[in-house]
Amino acid sequence: MSARAPVGARVCTSVCAQMSTVGAKSGLAGAPPGHTKAPAHLVRALDSFGLRDAELSPVWKNQAGGLTFSVASAGPGGRIDFYVKWNPAGTSESLTAEAQRLQWLQGRHPAPVAVDLVADMHGEVLLTRALPGESAVAQRWKHQPDTALRALGAGLRRLHQVDYAELPPQWSPQQEPDADGDDTVHRAAASGPPGGIDKLVLSQGDPCAPNTLLAADGSFLAHVDLGRLTVADRWADLAVMTMSLGWNFPRYQEAVFWEGYGIEPDPARIEYYRRLWDEASGAPPEDPGVVP
């Protein structure tokens, strides 16, 4: 990845680092309309990447108004080679932070390869190489929930087994207010989870089901949207991942996920971390991470 932007853009440094705090007041995340146009800043960045003639298709809109497009470098009808993400300036989302984490994960855990990054006064653009899989909540897997949930559990367990000893310390949460000066979550977290921290692990940080990719055979392939990768109690991920199942699967057996991960659910810790998530996002729990 070329060095177009300085390393060290602001990273969320609170307990919210393991929660989905992304622009909860800006709208819901989900698939954008097919006619969604690429922002001019993104188009200029693609030109600088040598992808002026690529075909773009909208894939995702996050709660901060950021957009993700698939990129077919050969033009209309071509193979999808890349994905490009754009975030407007002034949001809590940091694509610079995501690029740094993707670089760190290479050789440690399956994740996209960061190819190029532009960060300036107009926003950020991150280009990543496409992977040969699809979201765990694609229609195919919604009709095969046992396969999807088993892979979601196995993938999260694999991430949690990664040695985080060399993770840059500034990526771990600190007890300080967020960018808006709101310390609600920090006050709520002061007492800690029931029984204390169970096990610190490398945490996905935004562990909703759509952020897992599956291979064609239904096995775990990779994690995406890793801008909030951090160190946290494993139940911070487990609680939110299982909460997101109800947002994305019409019918499912949650026990299949726990079997895939290899642990029995802990209701008290699950309730605690879900409450933190809700307080951090400022939105009803059914809002985020829904893929139609």
3-state helix/strand/coil string of 140-188: HHHCCHHHHHHHHHHHHHHHHCCCCCCCCHHHCCCCCCCCCCCCHHHHH
Q: Are 112 and 140 contained in the same domain? A: no
Number of domains composing the chain:
2
pLDDT at 152: 99
Residue 183: which domain range? 134-281
Residues 6+ apart with CB under 8 A from 165: none
Residue 127 has pLDDT above 60, yes or no: yes
- Judge if pTM exceeds 0.95: no
Q: State percent of the chain over pLDDT 70.
A: 80
More confident residue, 179 or 126: 126
Q: What is the largest CA-CA distance in the chain?
A: 56
**Residue 96: enclosing H or E segment and its boundaries?**
helix 95-105
Distance separating alpha carbons of residues 55 and 36, to the nearest angstrom: 13
Query: For 154-208, how does the pLDDT look when each residue is reduced to its tens digit (9 = 90+)?
Result: 999 999 999 999 999 999 865 344 444 444 444 445 568 888 999 999 999 999 9
pLDDT at 43: 96
| pLDDT level of residue 113 (50, 70, 90 thresholds) | very high
Domain of 152, CATH number, reads 3.90.1200.10
DSSP 112: P
More confident residue, 188 or 103: 103
Q: Are 141 and 210 contained in the same domain? A: yes
4 is a domain residue = no
Decide: helix, strand or coil at residue 268.
helix
Q: Are 119 and 144 contained in the same domain? A: no
Q: Are 191 and 96 contained in the same domain? A: no
Q: Are 111 and 58 contained in the same domain? A: yes
Rounded mean pLDDT, 75-80? 89
Residue 6 has pLDDT above 60, yes or no: no
Rounded mean pLDDT, 235-251? 96
Query: For 244-255, how does the pLDDT look when each residue is reduced to its tens digit (9 = 90+)?
Result: 999 999 999 999
Q: What is the CA radius of gyration of the chain?
A: 18
Q: Are 100 and 149 contained in the same domain? A: no
Domain of 52, CATH number, reads 3.30.200.20
Torsions phi, psi of 85, nearest 5?
-115, 140
Q: Are 104 and 141 contained in the same domain? A: no
Q: Are 55 and 124 contained in the same domain? A: yes
